[in-house]
Amino acid sequence: MDINHTDLEKLLKEDLDSCNKEHDLLQIKSKYLGKKGYLTSLFTSLKNIDPDKRKTFGAELNSIKNTLSSMIEIKLISLRSSNEVPEKIDLDVPARHHNNGSHHPISLIIKKIENIFLEYGFDIHDGPEIETEHYNFESLNIAKNHPARDMHDTFYFDSQLLLRTHTSSVQIHAMETSNAPFRVLAPGRVYRCDSDPTHSPMFHQIEGLCVDTDITFSNLKWILNNFIKEFFNSKSIKTRFRPSYFPFTEPSAEMDIMFNGKWLEVLGCGMVHPNVLKNVNLNPKKYSGFAFGLGIERFAMLAYQIKDLRIFFENDINFLEQFKNIR
């Protein structure tokens, strides 16, 4: 038996030339190379030929098979590339919208206050929000039956553990873990069982503590007066100190600022009580200091003219987006 491969190649070429669909090409492929195709029948006829010639004949068949396969392959590639839709660029498609986030106003105020106190040489400290009675009260000179504990509306976990009611507990942690002198600024969340337009059960405070060998009330006044001037960016803003009471400071004061023609209370402060110093093994005869605590929401409400503090915690996107460009 003889095969004429030029014939087979010619035949296939004609078929391929008239083919312009991938589907038709598959049929051509099976006509030549498929189970019932020309080549398969030639391969089956191998067994009938003289064993001496079988080898060369087989090799010849394989080479025809390769030629035909590659002709079909080339056609397939050319069909596919001519069917491809050229990529169009539509210049009218609106750009994809990137919604940038913003810093929360409370974070902005914390950063602003931190930056002012960093200039005065204060370090930023952190403390636990779940506290023991010891750190939240006892070490701050607030004994077990002290009436000041009632003022704090504390959330208790059990008789020992509670959610800290103020950042003053960080004063103790800071003094226990490093050595005097101290200049500590501690922002953070605090919790009190209280809720109305000006009180939220969770809010933020910043604690300040400065302890050294010769700190006086005039240092406290200078730092706080300067801080207020820098915060409100006004050299002429009026402030005043009113006597007050905190168990952990003596004397204690409340600081007011003149805002829109009215005195507004903005923070509590005082000279660190000798008992507090003793509680962290500092000699009150050698060391003295001042401390203050302020409500961050109060400062944010004043800075951004916000009337109801609950809006800080509602995650209202329209409210939050207003702070987008403030750094």
| Amino acid of residue 69 | S
- The contact mask relative to ligand PHE for 193-212 (x = CB under 6 A, - = no) is --------------x-----
C-beta of 76 vs 148, nearer to ligand PHE: 148
C-beta of 57 vs 312, nearer to ligand PHE: 312
Touching ligand PHE, residues 30-69 (CB under 6 A): none
C-beta of 75 vs 152, nearer to ligand PHE: 152
Which residues, 6+ apart, have CB-to-CB distance to 126 below 8 Å?
170, 186, 188
Q: Could you give phi then psi for residue 27, rounded to 5 degrees?
A: -70, -40
- The contact mask relative to ligand PHE for 253-292 (x = CB under 6 A, - = no) is ---------------xxx--------------------xx
Under the criterion CB under 6 A, does residue 164 sit at the interface with ligand PHE?
A: no
Q: From the list 105, 154, 293, 296, which residue makes contact with ligand PHE (rule: CB under 6 A)?
A: 293
Q: Could you give phi then psi for residue 143, rounded to 5 degrees?
A: -70, 170
Residue pair 267/292 in contact by the 8 Å Cβ criterion: yes
> C-beta of 324: minimal distance to ligand PHE in Å?
32
Under the criterion CB under 6 A, does residue 247 sit at the interface with ligand PHE?
A: no
User: With the C-alpha atoms ordered 117, 120, 124, 130, is the resulting torsion angle positive or negative?
Assistant: negative
Which residues, 6+ apart, have CB-to-CB distance to 78 below 8 Å?
none
How many residues of this chain bind ligand PHE (CB under 6 A)?
11
Q: Phi/psi class of residue 96: alpha, beta or left (left: φ > 0; alpha: ψ in -120 to 50)? A: beta
Helices 38-45 and 51-83 cross at an angle (nearest 10°) of 170
- The contact mask relative to ligand PHE for 80-109 (x = CB under 6 A, - = no) is ------------------------------
Q: Under the rule (CB under 6 A), what is the footprint of ligand PHE?
A: 166, 168, 207, 246, 249, 268-270, 291-293
